[in-house]
Amino acid sequence: MDPNAFGSPLHNMSIYNLLQMREAAQRPIRVGVVGAGATGRAIALQLGTPVPGIRLAGIANRTAAHAERSFREAAIRDWQSAETTAEADSLIARGIPVLTADPQVLTRSGEIDIIVEVTGTVDFAASVVLDAIAHRKAVVMVNAELDSLVGPLLKAKADDAGVVLTHTDGDEPGVAMTLVRYVQSVGLRPVAAGNIKGMVDYYRTPATQQGFAERNDQDVKKVTSFADATKLSMETTVLANATGFGVGRRGMYGPACGYVRELATLLPAEAMLAGGIVDYSVGASPHTGGFVVVHETNPYKQTQLAYYKLGDGPFYVFYTPFHLPHIQLPSTIARAVLHRDPTVAPQAGPSCEVVTIAKRDLKAGETLDGVGGFCAYGLIENRAAARDINALPIAMSEDCVMLRDVAKDQVVGFADVSLPSPRLIDRLWQEQLQRWPSARPPAAGAAPANARQQKGEPVTTAA
């Protein structure tokens, strides 16, 4: 029997005990990290602690200086450069971490157990994930941009290859999904889940976020996407695809409140009971983390929950008051390698998408600047509704050229733009559409998105 197979003695042991055994046996899980931006550096720092039973075996990054910084900040001094997989294999086998500009050196290495993709890109990241899957590597995507766009297709390809593909604990989708799985494991019924946000402002731009980015040593477009609802929408789309939940309306409700447990009465009961929704709170204590709403109608159970100060019901809010991607990632790595258990991954086809919305009036001839830019923000939408209006996913919007004017706060559709030269992600998007056709596929020459748009007033909220 495979020692990691479900039901085997080792499978039933806790992650902690299995990692301790690996540490004692000097057989750590060997991790290859692709990407050395702010999040990648934090991950390298944590893995360099080191985590018992897990080791950082290599970093791939196109700019060598950034990867060198990752090793330096993690106090890993004995790394060496590797230009080929053979060089990497020889070094890693001797316990020496490697630095490379080519991610295939890691994805194709026989000495690497799992790849952590953390570039925040879409097309490039897709090529990394596909190559890792093709070479039978488990993959953790710390990349909501890619996961929210074609995560279902990549998961299907990983399943076909017999490897694990997962988003990570510590990022909000993983925090909420871990909580969803917990409440299910104790017999509760989750009907909503999502993020605890401090603020949302659709119209933030790199200009407004420049100072924050500099103070926190972050990429300015990345932090803009945090503020303008795009990253929030991507993260909740990852969660929706993992739970099968939808959204009550485009962009979600996002009620402002003082304490996250107030969501029990602020989110729409009908939508929660109709199949579940993803959503978020604004300004609610504890100001960060993830939540799950459960529904309980048994009067005896309601009495017990009230006694333990969870409220009068029938909706009750459970929450995790933190999200720490770099610290919680090792749990996802261990679950994937030791138990072949994805922390958060699509159930099947897409449940939701993130559509492109004009941040200002857009004019024909303009080139869109993608996620976290000046041109557009992204909002989560139910998949059927997004395909009904042929909406352009924001993760595909960069370098698209506007063919016609689109007014502020209106959806940008495929018919409104000219796509850049063929990209890998365009092929994957079409493959995902063919694998899971929408209920009402748009006809050839379909009208622009806003000619058939389901009207919904934009909501801008801030703490």
Distance, CA of 42 to CA of 36 (rounded, Å): 9
pLDDT of amino acid 175: 97
- Tokens 């969660």 correspond to 239
- Tokens 């962009």 correspond to 251
Q: State pLDDT tens for residues 292-342.
A: 999 999 999 999 999 999 999 999 999 999 999 999 999 999 999 999 999
pLDDT of amino acid 11: 53
Please provide the average confidence, as pLDDT, over all residues in the chain: 93
For helices 15-24 and 325-338, angle between their N-to-C axes, nearest 10 degrees: 80
Task: Give 264-273's long-range contacts (Cβ < 8 A, gap of 24+).
Answer: 264/293, 264/311, 264/313, 264/315, 264/316, 264/317, 265/315, 267/192, 267/293, 267/315, 269/315, 272/191, 272/192, 272/315, 273/191
pLDDT above 70 as % of the chain: 92
Strands (E), 73-124: 80-81, 98-100, 114-117
- Tokens 């020889």 correspond to 90
- H or E element that contains 241: helix 230-243
Question: Are 290 and 187 in contact, with CB atoms under 8 Å apart?
Answer: no
Question: Are 61 and 36 in contact, with CB atoms under 8 Å apart?
Answer: yes
Confidence band for 10, pLDDT divided at 50, 70 and 90: low
Phi, psi of 400 (to 5 degrees): -70, 145
Cβ-proximal residues to 299 (8 Å cutoff; 6+ apart), any chain: none
How far, in Å, are 87, 352, 370 from residue 410 at the CA level?
A: 52, 18, 16
pLDDT of amino acid 425: 97
Which whole number is the average pLDDT over 42-59? 95
pLDDT of amino acid 454: 39
Q: State pLDDT tens for residues 360-412.
A: 999 999 999 999 999 999 999 999 999 999 999 999 999 999 999 999 999 99
Confidence band for 1, pLDDT divided at 50, 70 and 90: very low
Whether the CA torsion 340, 344, 349, 353 is positive or negative: it is negative
Q: State pLDDT tens for residues 85-144.
A: 999 999 999 999 999 999 999 999 999 999 999 999 999 999 999 999 999 999 999 999
Q: State pLDDT tens for residues 162-172.
A: 999 999 999 99
Q: State pLDDT tens for residues 342-356.
A: 999 999 999 999 999
Measuring CA to CA, which residue among 378, 271, 264 is closest to residue 319?
264
Question: Are 110 and 89 in contact, with CB atoms under 8 Å apart?
Answer: yes
Distance, CA of 414 to CA of 369 (rounded, Å): 16
Residue 28 has pLDDT above 80, yes or no: yes
Please report, as a single letter, which amino acid is at residue 10: L
Q: In the numeric block, which tokens belong to residue 250?
A: 């485009």
pLDDT above 90 as % of the chain: 90
pLDDT of amino acid 458: 39
pLDDT of amino acid 49: 85
Residue 441 has pLDDT above 90, yes or no: no
Residue 416 has pLDDT above 70, yes or no: yes
pLDDT of amino acid 323: 95
Distance, CA of 391 to CA of 397 (rounded, Å): 11
Question: Are 281 and 197 in contact, with CB atoms under 8 Å apart?
Answer: yes
Strands (E), 245-333: 277-282, 290-295, 315-320
- What is the model's pTM? 0.92
pLDDT of amino acid 54: 98
pLDDT of amino acid 438: 78
pLDDT of amino acid 439: 53
Cβ-proximal residues to 422 (8 Å cutoff; 6+ apart), any chain: none
Q: In the numeric block, which tokens belong to residue 456?
A: 């919904």
Residue 455 has pLDDT above 80, yes or no: no
